Amino acid sequence: MKILIVDDFSTMRRIIKNLLRDLGFTNTAEADDGSTALPMLQNGRFDFLITDWNMPGMSGIDLLKAVRADEQLKKMPILMVTAEAKRDQIIEAAQAGVNGYVVKPFTAAVLKEKIEKIFERVDS
Amino acid sequence: MLGQDQITPSDDLWDDLKARAQILVSKLEEGDFSGASEAIEKLNEARDHSIYREVGKLTRGLHEAIANFDIDTQSTDTGAENGSKMTSAEDRLAYVINLTQSSADKTMDMVEEGIPLASELGDGALLLREEWSRLIRREVDPENYLDLYQGVDRYLATAGKNADLLSEKLNTILLAQDFQDLTGQVIKKVINLVQDVEIRLVELMRVAGKVEELTGIVRGVDPSVHSVTNNKELDSAAEGPQVNAEQRKDVVSGQDNVDDLLSSLGF
């Protein structure tokens, strides 16, 4: 299981990376915005994407749409982990095909629950 | 508040206007038409003068308000504070980011170094416990006692060393929280500056409004422009963390809310 973590703050990437390691996912890579993440996804055989929304350059919602529009990547499970909390944003993310949405600040338990739920669905 | 500030003529002007009006009345009563016309002109003159004086005063006020507001260009010569207050506010906020970042980094360094130490203790205890249970069940041959003694000795040494290292790391984490005090002070200063700017901005608008009122300039603002926004599109521009989520209807107040919303969408 190879996971890409996209967030413009290194602190947040590190926190998510550590939580993932705790859940047994040790194969992770990091990107600081959508425009760095997209080529990594296209070349890197990732199984799962965790992305922030608000980032300089390419935002998380645009990355989500770009992934869904890409023939090779469109089935990739995507979890959004973001401070963006407007209803309209959550609706837009859902319409764009996000698999889970976690608002910051979040707990390890919430992250774990959402990731497990996504994998349950993907497996079934 | 603009527009509620009516121009109130000074007492002098009142007296002047009353005196001139009385002259007008008496001229009219006398049937002196040219005298009356002259009195009307004098009345007008007095009013015009007062308007000129008011405009002059307000223009000076406006100028001062603008000069006060111009905090971006002044205070470069104070020495202690390099650059303007605004630049200094930006520097202060950058300092907050740096401080919180380095504190987060330090804390995470310590946690990442600490976790393997704790795991080592746990794993060692588990192994030793197995050996110990076998000893209790008398399953250990006397010739293997030496292994057990050495195992216990090694574990105790590791436990002591790791406990020391862990408490050292916990102390470093504790000290890394000192940013809160410093950033708190810095942010308070920036809040003060913003309030200062707000007060000056309001003053500037008040004076500008009076000048407009007095000189008859109509402000061409159509109030409907602000109130009508397109509701059909989703408002999904990024805003960052919600500071007052409970005061807004268009914002969720936590993960439970997000989950409810998503499940209502069929998730």
| pLDDT value of residue B115 | 93
Residue A99 is given by DSSP the state S
Instruction: Give the tokens for residue B210.
Output: 């009076």
CB contact under 8 A, B105 and A53: no
CA angle, A87 then A105 then A80, to 5° = 55
Counting one residue from chain A and one from chain B, the pairs whose CB atoms sit within 8 A come to: 72
**Range with the poorest average pLDDT among A8-12, A38-42, B68-72, B106-110:** B68-72
Tens of pLDDT, residue by residue over B184-199, are: 888 888 888 888 888 8
- Measured between CA atoms, the residue of chain B closest to residue A86 is B251
**Exposure of A32 in the CB half-sphere (CA atoms within 13 A):** 6
Chain B hits for A83, Cβ within 8 Å: 240-242
CB contact under 8 A, A86 and B267: no
The chain A residues in contact with chain B (CB within 8 A) are 10-11, 14-15, 18, 53-54, 59, 61, 83-92, 94, 101-104, 106, 110
**Confidence at A113, pLDDT banded by 50, 70, 90:** very high
CB contact under 8 A, A84 and B239: yes
Tens of pLDDT, residue by residue over A55-102, are: 989 999 999 999 999 999 999 999 999 988 899 999 999 999 999 999
Q: How buried is residue A51: exposed, middle or buried, by Cβ count under 10 Å (0-12/13-18/19+)?
A: buried
Tens of pLDDT, residue by residue over B135-174, are: 899 888 888 888 888 989 999 999 999 999 999 999 899 8
| pLDDT value of residue B186 | 87
**Confidence at B179, pLDDT banded by 50, 70, 90:** confident
- The helix or strand, by DSSP H or E, that contains position A3, with its residue range, turns out to be strand A3-6
Burial call B13-40: b when 16+ CB within 10 Å, e when fewer? beebbeebeebbeebeeeeeeeebeebb
Mean pLDDT of chain A: 92
CB contact under 8 A, A88 and B236: yes
Tens of pLDDT, residue by residue over B40-83, are: 888 888 878 877 887 788 778 777 777 766 555 444 444 444 45
In a mutational test of the A interface, the residue from B108, B110, B258, B262 whose CB has the highest number of chain A CBs within 10 Å is B258
- Give the ranges where chain B is alpha helix by DSSP (H): 11-30, 33-69, 85-136, 145-175, 179-215, 223-227, 255-264
Cα separation values, B22 from A93, B16, B31, B33, B213, Å: 77, 10, 14, 15, 29
Chain B hits for A91, Cβ within 8 Å: 234, 236, 261, 265
Mean pLDDT of chain B: 80
Instruction: Give the tokens for residue B216.
Output: 């008859």
The chain B residues in contact with chain A (CB within 8 A) are 101, 104-105, 108, 111-112, 234-236, 238-242, 245, 250-255, 258, 261-262, 265, 267
- Whether residue B228 has pLDDT greater than 70: no
| pLDDT value of residue B59 | 78
| pLDDT value of residue B246 | 76
Rounded to a whole number of angstroms, the distance from the CA of A39 to the nearest CA of chain B is: 23
